[in-house]
Amino acid sequence: MNLKLSHIAELIGAKLIGNGEVTIKGVNALDSAKVGQITYIATNKYQNSLSQSKASAVILSAELSALCPTNALVVSNPYLAFAKLTHHFKQYSSVCSDNSLAVIEPSAKLNNAKISPGCFIGKNVCVGENTIIGPNCVIEDNVQIGANSHLFANIVIHKDCQLGHSCVISSGVVIGSEGFGNARDNDKIWQTIAHIGKVVIGNNVTIGANTTIDRGTIDDTEIHNGVRLDNLIHIAHNVIIGENTAIAAKTGIAGSTTLGKRCMIGGMVGIVGHITIADDVIVNATSTVDKNITKAGMYTGFFPLMTHKGWKKVGMWLIKLDKIAKVLNIKLRDIKK
């Protein structure tokens, strides 16, 4: 992809300082960018790298524009502008749309979607226009996929699930897998609960590689518009994730938990089942969330593993530490008097 700098300025809403006729052939990091490439700088921390950059153009803030040794694209949020621009230079794998190389049930409605070799498309599947389905994907019966979505290789979407428009699903994702629901009988033998709900995913959702989303037991598992899921996340049955929430890798969310809108969940967070997390909550990496979070804010919670009996004792004292400190302060004042 080759773009003139003047056109890039229009794409990201930037003020151009320099030669708009310069041709940009790719993007690169600030330290590595060469002639013909564009880069960005987000903070003052990298001023030295900016002054030495060999890039043909730099996306930056007005504050740093005077230090730029080359063509500058001035924006209020350089990181966001660069994020938007990267999509114009991204190279996707070639996709063969020869449907003869895929197994497609006659009742499927593909609407000119591009279906790669090795795919299986089940009965009554509906795929929107301009959607790309990569090699070896399995799309089971009654699945609905919106327009302008991109499914990479080796994805499984189980029966009845729904995927909105403009979604990006990375390789190895499984949507609509059986949930982990079991009941133990009088002989303490596990009896599996059939999950007859589905997974409903909104628009403009991205799901990272090897993430799994279980179908609902009776009600549906819901992933709302604009959600961003990293790689290797597990979302259990009946979980609801609110709009524009982002979740980092290796997080696990147990069943029937609801996350609010615009939350940010760090990597390796464990969230127990049947709780509710409010809008605009940030949970730091490796935390364990074991109760409702009712107010927006940043939360951290982790502790060394111990016996449950020991943890109950420790937890009791932790809860009382504030009161203990107040009592000690009062006694210290009395002693000093």
22-45 pLDDT, tens digit per residue, is 999 999 999 999 999 999 998 888
Cα(184)–Cα(273) distance, integer angstroms: 18
Q: Are 157 and 195 in contact (CB under 8 A)?
A: no
pLDDT band at 320 (very low <50, low <70, confident <90, very high): confident
As a whole-number percent, the residues of the chain with pLDDT over 70 amount to 97
Q: Where are the alpha helices (DSSP H) in the chain?
A: 5-12, 47-51, 78-86, 308-336
Mean pLDDT (the chain) is 93
Name the token pair of 224.
């709302």
Cα(89)–Cα(283) distance, integer angstroms: 33
Q: For residue range 130-163, what is the model confidence (pLDDT) as tens digits?
A: 999 999 999 999 999 999 999 999 999 999 999 9
When pLDDT is averaged across residues 296-312 and rounded to a whole number, the result is 82
pLDDT value, residue 68: 94
Q: For residue range 74-84, what is the model confidence (pLDDT) as tens digits?
A: 999 999 999 99
pLDDT value, residue 261: 98
pLDDT value, residue 322: 86
Which of 285, 312, 315, 316 has its CA nearest to residue 301? Answer: 285
**Catalytic center residues:** 237
64 vs 335, residue with greater confidence: 64
Predicted structure pTM score: 0.85
As a whole-number percent, the residues of the chain with pLDDT over 90 amount to 81
Q: For residue range 186-230, what is the model confidence (pLDDT) as tens digits?
A: 999 999 999 999 999 999 999 999 999 999 999 999 999 999 999
When pLDDT is averaged across residues 238-254 and rounded to a whole number, the result is 98
Please tell me whether residue 74 adopts helix, strand or coil conformation.
Answer: strand
